[in-house]
Structure 1
């Protein structure tokens, strides 16, 4: 992690543009894609990009009807088209966390190395701890559902003996012969 932070800090110190290189290349690719698109201005900040379907872009509020700009903070192809048409700088419409300065601030603090702790010699006694043996119980699995901790058992009335309890006609073991 220390190497990665140091590498990124050194790499960012050489950058001279406003936007990080990935963002710069992405803006260039988007601009190449939208060079031929038609833009219809509505006001100084509101534009309609005539594509299929047409999209409304408000560069003043940084909104687009495709919602990409609001979600990611990075202009989509429609926004790039409208911003270029208005003659304004694209770098001003990219959120600040895509800027080189923000990147440099993120990687400005170093991660300090941790001194190795002196540990005693580990003696190998030749025994190893094995996982417990788990056997599948014999027979068919139980059909009865295991009830949760707070769940109340509904009292049933047996259809054979007529007593209340946790049994029914099928599981009744009551002796029905009268006592003499």
Structure 2
């Protein structure tokens, strides 16, 4: 969850200091533009599976060329890799655990599917298909024009003004407050020789002459 928040904060880095109404509208515009770009991108793809995952499958097939696969029954196989693993096609499980975690066939599962001569696409989640990607972005966010909005507003009734408060003393914070549990790497400053979080270019320690 922390990674998602950090990515979102970075995405709206220029807009996050705006008032809340302007911030929400800027996010709407960014989403509208992003969805339009991804819709056009999806229409250019010619592969059944999204290109990134299609390339991943190619890499896994190349990696597994030298491995031997032994069949136990129609759905259970043993892959002689390092170490040996068992793959159950019907349950979509592998003893390495990767297939269950990612919901995407691991290299051992690809070996078993190739040995069974089954259609690989039948064992891929719909999430990874180009068709699904296009369906996600088929709809668009409609523009919100302001040409019909009246400029004669009664600011006492129609506009919610910010609260009256004094600016706190000191310079406004520009760096984010670190999340709980984040470990900061300690470095040694080549100017003052102290261990901390600053380096020579940001060092403000007085030097003894």
Point out where structure 1 has 5 or more consecutive residues left out of the alignment.
Answer: 121-127, 134-180
Which of 159, 168, 184 lines up with 1:131 in the alignment? 168
Structure with bigger RCO (C-alpha 8 Å, 6+ apart): 1
TM-fit CA distance, 1:43: 0.8
Which of 65, 89, 98 lines up with 2:95 in the alignment? 65
Which whole-Å CA distance do the structure 2 matches of 1:99 and 1:37 have between them? Answer: 27
SS of residue matched to 1:16: coil
Which of 94, 98, 107 lines up with 1:77 in the alignment? 107
Deviations 1:47-84 (A, max 9, x none): 00012221110111211111211121100111111111
Which whole-Å CA distance do the structure 1 matches of 2:52 and 2:58 have between them? Answer: 10
TM-score by length of 1: 0.64
TM-fit CA distance, 1:9: 0.9
TM-score by length of 2: 0.55
TM-fit CA distance, 1:129: 4.3
Answer 1 or 2: which has greater helix percent: 2
Which whole-Å CA distance do the structure 2 matches of 1:62 and 1:87 have between them? Answer: 16
TM-fit CA distance, 1:14: 2.6
Which whole-Å CA distance do the structure 2 matches of 1:118 and 1:50 have between them? Answer: 73
Distance 1:131 1:63, change over 3 A: same
For the pair shown, the structure with the greater C-alpha radius of gyration is: 1
The alignment yields a C-alpha RMSD, in angstroms, of 2.6
Which whole-Å CA distance do the structure 2 matches of 1:66 and 1:44 have between them? Answer: 20
1:109-128 paired onto structure 2 within 5 Å? 109-116=139-146
Q: Which residue of 2 aligns with 1:157?
A: none
Deviations 1:119-146 (A, max 9, x none): 79xxxxxxx942057xxxxxxxxxxxxx
Which whole-Å CA distance do the structure 1 matches of 2:84 and 2:151 have between them? Answer: 68
Q: Which residue of 2 aligns with 1:10?
A: 40
SS of residue matched to 1:57: strand
- Runs (4+) of structure 1 exceeding 6 A deviation are 117-120
Deviates more, 1:53-62 or 1:81-90: 81-90
SS of residue matched to 2:46: coil
Deviates more, 1:29-38 or 1:11-20: 11-20
